[in-house]
Amino acid sequence: MIIKDQTEHTIELKDKPKRIISIVPSQSELLWDLGLKKELVGITKFCVHPNEMFRSIERVGGTKKLDLDKIRLLKPDLIIGNKEENEQTQIEELRKEFPVWMSDIYDLSDAFDMITSIAEITHTENKAEQLIKIIKNNFEKLDLKKCKGKKVAYFIWYDPFMAAAKNTFIDHLIERLGMVNVFAYLTRYPNVNAAQIKGAEPDYIFLSSEPFPFTEKHIRELKQISPASEVILVDGEMFSWYGSRLQYAPAYFESLGL
């Protein structure tokens, strides 16, 4: 089977994969939910959902600091990663020895393509079709009238403040909520200063739970910078995980009471 991934890289598989390593948390959870518990032999230390998977599957380092020797010992016949979350040099090293399928995701359409492609590779098409249907239905029912047109700044890091800007999955979901990303004129994950935050006059400031663990003290700091903004700690997984967790994201967005 000749397969092209979302980065236009081609891999060859002789049979259905029996030993899979996933090096991205949202995709590890997806594989588990597709019923591939026996095939999944390696995950990262950040692949915390579901807890049963986290406790039972061998860990191969972090998403950006993989333990290549441990991966070799596990003898995978397929590795699944992501262009943004994994380091290119390590992926290139792994590609010399193993089939590596990489996702590259900017919006829900890309996420659905990823789910479909992984399902085709692993022969789990029926479960994937059901999952995608649930996700689409849940997003179609989502209607947050109160937050339509409201301006939001979404931060993923502190010292310096790092925002989610254009060409990110987070920005796409912000748009899907009907909100305006105040840093959409920038690209990817730029550093922004206090003057930029104040000048943007966001109605909301979202502080993500990952990768930086924002707390109440950061809420107080940002309220000083932008007093008129409502500063909220949000679940970063709901805004940035593009696998099976997407089925729960619309209900979470509604729970924020925006």
Q: Are residues 93 and 17 in the same domain?
A: yes
- pLDDT per residue as tens digits for the range 58-74: 999 999 999 999 999 99
Pick the last residue of a domain from 85, 108, 139.
139
**Residue 145: its pLDDT value, please?**
83
What is this structure's pTM?
0.95
Asked if residue 32 has pLDDT above 90, the reply is yes
The Cα–Cα gap between 147 and 173 comes to: 13
- Our count of domains for the chain comes to 2
What is the rounded average pLDDT of the residues 158-172? 98
24 plus 112 within the same structural domain: yes
Question: 120 and 240: one domain?
Answer: no
| 218 and 94 within one domain | no
Claim to verify: residue 74 and residue 49 sit in the same structural domain: yes
Residues 152 and 89 in one domain: no
Structure-block tokens of residue 124: 């789990």
Number of H helices, E strands in the chain: 11, 12
Are 101 and 7 part of one and the same domain?
yes
Asked if residue 228 and residue 133 are part of one domain, the reply reads no
Inform me whether the pLDDT recorded for 1 exceeds 90: no
Q: What is the pLDDT of residue 19?
A: 98
- Placement of tokens 């089925």 in the chain: 247
129 and 6 together in one domain:
yes
Same domain for 78 and 106, yes or no, is: yes
For residues 137 and 21, what is the distance between their CA atoms, to the nearest angstrom? 30
What integer pLDDT is reported at residue 257 of this predicted model?
A: 86
The proportion of the chain whose per-residue pLDDT surpasses 90, expressed as a percent, equals 97
Match 């994950």 to its residue by tokens: 189
User: What separation, in Å, do the N-terminal and C-terminal C-alpha atoms of the chain show?
Assistant: 47
Q: What is the mean pLDDT of residues 31-40?
A: 98
HSE (side-chain half, CA atoms, 13 Å) at 17 = 30
Question: Helix, strand or coil for residue 102?
Answer: strand
Say if residue 116 is in the same domain as residue 34. yes
For residue 50, give the CATH number of its domain.
Answer: 3.40.50.1980
Residues 134 and 155 reside in one and the same domain = no
Domain boundary among the residues 109, 139, 169 is at 139
3 phi and psi, to 5 degrees?
Answer: -130, 140
CB 235 within 8 A of CB 209: yes
Predicted local distance difference test score (pLDDT) of residue 236: 97
Tell me: the pLDDT tens digits for 76-122?
999 999 999 999 999 999 999 999 999 999 999 999 999 999 999 99
Q: Give the domain range for residue 47.
A: 2-139
From CA 236, how far away is CA 233, in angstroms rounded?
9
Main-chain dihedrals φ then ψ at residue 140, nearest 5 degrees = -65, -30
Q: Among 118, 139, 160, which residue terminates a domain?
A: 139
Examine the pLDDT at 143 and tell me if it is beyond 90: no
